Structure formats: C-alpha cells, structure tokens
Amino acid sequence: MSTAAAVTAIHVRDLVRSFGAVQAVRGVSLDIERGEIFGLVGPDGAGKTTIMRMLAGVLRPDAGEISLENIDVIAKPELAKAALSYMPQRFGLYEDLTVAENIFFYGELFGVSRKTNRTRSGELLEAAGLVPFRDRLAGQLSGGMKQKLGLVCALIHTPRVLLLDEPTTGVDPVSRRDFWAILYNLRESGVTIVLSTAYMDEAERCSRLALLHTGQIRQCDTPSRLKQTMPGALFAVVAADPRAVHDALVDAPGVLSALLMGDRVHVRVDDAARRLPELQARLAARSIANATVSSIEPGIEDVFVALVGSGSAT
C-alpha cells in the first residue's frame, strides 16, 4: 500500500536475538506503513514469535533498533506499550470471569476510564458478535470466541499498533472469517496490524508479507508480487493417490519441487512446455492412471517452498 503520503509506523533495523547458541533472529530489517496488515510467514523456528516479542517490548534484542510510532521501543518500552497491543498465542483470559468482566479488567489494566470502558466495550462486543455472550464465563466459550474476546480485550485502550501472534490457530473457519472482518475494519481506521500466521490463505489477505526462514527475511513484498518472483512454472497434478504422484515426480528431470496439497500435488518445473509431456509420460510409466496435469498460478506456500529451496517438500 505504498503511496506518496505513506507514514512509517514501525521501523526495524538489523535486529538480532540469540538464545544460547541458537540465533533465532539474524539481521532483520523492516519498515511497516501505518494502516498496513503486515504478515510474518514461516515454519516453526523461523523467528516469528521472537520478532513479535521484541516489537512489543517484552523481549530485549541483542542488537538492532526498533521504533514504533516514533517511540524507541528498546529505550522506552513502557511508553511504547501505551501505543500498542500484543496478543500472544496464549492470550491471558480469565476463564472464571465473564466476557464483560474480562473486558472491564483489561480496561482497568490499560488505564481506560470506566465511562470510556463501557462505551468502547459495547462497540467492540458488537463488532465481534459477542453481545449475546457478554455474561458467559470465558472458560465456557469456544476456541473461536475466546480468540475474538482476546482481540476485544487487546483493543480496549484503542492502540495504534496491534501485534497478533498466530491469532487464529485452531480456530474454526467461521470464526476466522469474523476475526478477519474485524481486522479489516481496524485497518480502515488507521490501525497498523502485524500478525504471524501458519495459514497461507490468511497470508494472501495481508497488505505485505515477510517470508522468514531460520531467523532471516528471504523476501518481503505484496502477495501478488511475491508470486511473480517464483522461478519456473507450476502444475497441479490430481490423481487417486497423490502420494504416489509425489514419489513419482519429485526426482524427475526438470522438477524443482513437488508439494503435496491435499488431494493434489503442486509440481514446479524449469520449463513448462518441455516438461509437461515428460511428466505425463513418467506418470504413465509408473501406472498412475487418470492423472490430470494442469497449469496453475502459484500460491504463497508454493513461493515459500521455492525460496527455501526445498525440492522434496511434502
């Protein structure tokens, strides 16, 4: 969402953090614009949570600099916390309190006046679809409702930056949709959102993405431009036994990667015109009948596999 009037909300330079001998984050630099939904994508151990915790001021980096809405997060973490909300993977809801009581508690914690707390909580409950459940104990909510309540609590003090660490993991599809509707509304109001996700369909919804691997950013751009950077061409192969298709094609000449995707295999090749008949012949030679091979546009998961060079990804 680059425009002439774009304002940098988060500035990160040469961020480094180690845990013993393990370097979890290695020289990460980012500039995130105000009003973006910015995604951190990568496997477990890529450094997503460590980066989130450093942005939130709850973990001090070994080196580097972080500013958030022109506040030096490293030098003034408490001042930065007034401008942000951080929702970790396990948000601290109190299960023996009701929905309304949890929201009231977090409003008090953030220093929100009781009048503002009442008004703000009513607006947020309405937006999250939680009004009918305001008197229900948090421990009796579904996983999706708990995540939406966590988001409401994180927003009660009207933060300018929202940090979400895999907020929809384990959440049902309907609740994920509702959760994203709230995020889009926040973006329209100028809130900057940084989230990590393991869901590639969610990654597609972000304004920009940083693809992380072993503590480093491999690529950072919009989802559409990231797809354009993927080398080679992509085929989807559908057959009754996708595992057999994968095993037959993963080491075929010209195949750069083969990725199991549910009932199909995404096969990336160096030359589409040359390799299509070769793939079809190889499948026939392995007695894989009725397989269909079609050219497709890559998704973010395909791009990520191509970037990390995992030729035998499953």
Q: Where in the chain is the domain with CATH 3.40.50.300?
A: 8-222
Domain with CATH 3.30.70.100 in the chain: 230-308
Q: If we measure between CA atoms, which residue out of 143, 128, 32 comes closest to residue 91?
A: 143
State how far Cα 53 lies from the chain centre.
Answer: 15
pLDDT digits (tens, 9 = 90+) for 173-203: 888 888 898 899 899 999 999 999 888 888 9
- pLDDT tens digits, 245-261: 999 999 999 999 999 99
State how far the Cα of 145 lies from the Cα of 130, in Å rounded to an integer.
Answer: 8
**Quick one: CATH architecture of 230-308?**
2-Layer Sandwich (3.30)
- Considering the entire predicted model, what is its pTM? 0.86
DSSP string, 89-158: SS----TTSBHHHHHHHHHHHTT--HHHHHHHHHHHHHHHT-GGGTTSBGGGS-HHHHHHHHHHHHHTT-
Instruction: Give the per-residue pLDDT at 309.
Output: 66
| Token pair 């995020």: residue | 183
Among 148, 158, 100, 154, which residue's Cα sits nearest to residue 127? Answer: 148
Topology of domain 8-222, CATH: Rossmann fold (3.40.50)
In contact, 278 and 254? CB cutoff 8 Å: yes
Pull the structure tokens for residue 46.
């890529």
pLDDT beneath 70, residues of the chain:
1-5, 309-314
Q: What pLDDT is recorded for position 43?
A: 86
Give the number of other Cβ atoms within 10 Å of residue 228's Cβ: 11
28: alpha, beta or left, given left = phi > 0 and alpha = psi -120 to 50?
Answer: beta
C-alpha to C-alpha distance for 188 and 184, rounded to whole angstroms? 6
Any long-range contacts for 23-29 (C-beta under 8 Å, 24+ apart)? 23/215, 24/50, 24/215, 25/50, 25/51, 25/54, 25/61, 25/215, 26/214, 26/215, 26/216, 27/64, 27/216, 28/64, 28/215, 28/216, 28/217, 29/217
Cα–Cα separations (whole angstroms), residue 285 to 23, 84, 281? 46, 59, 6
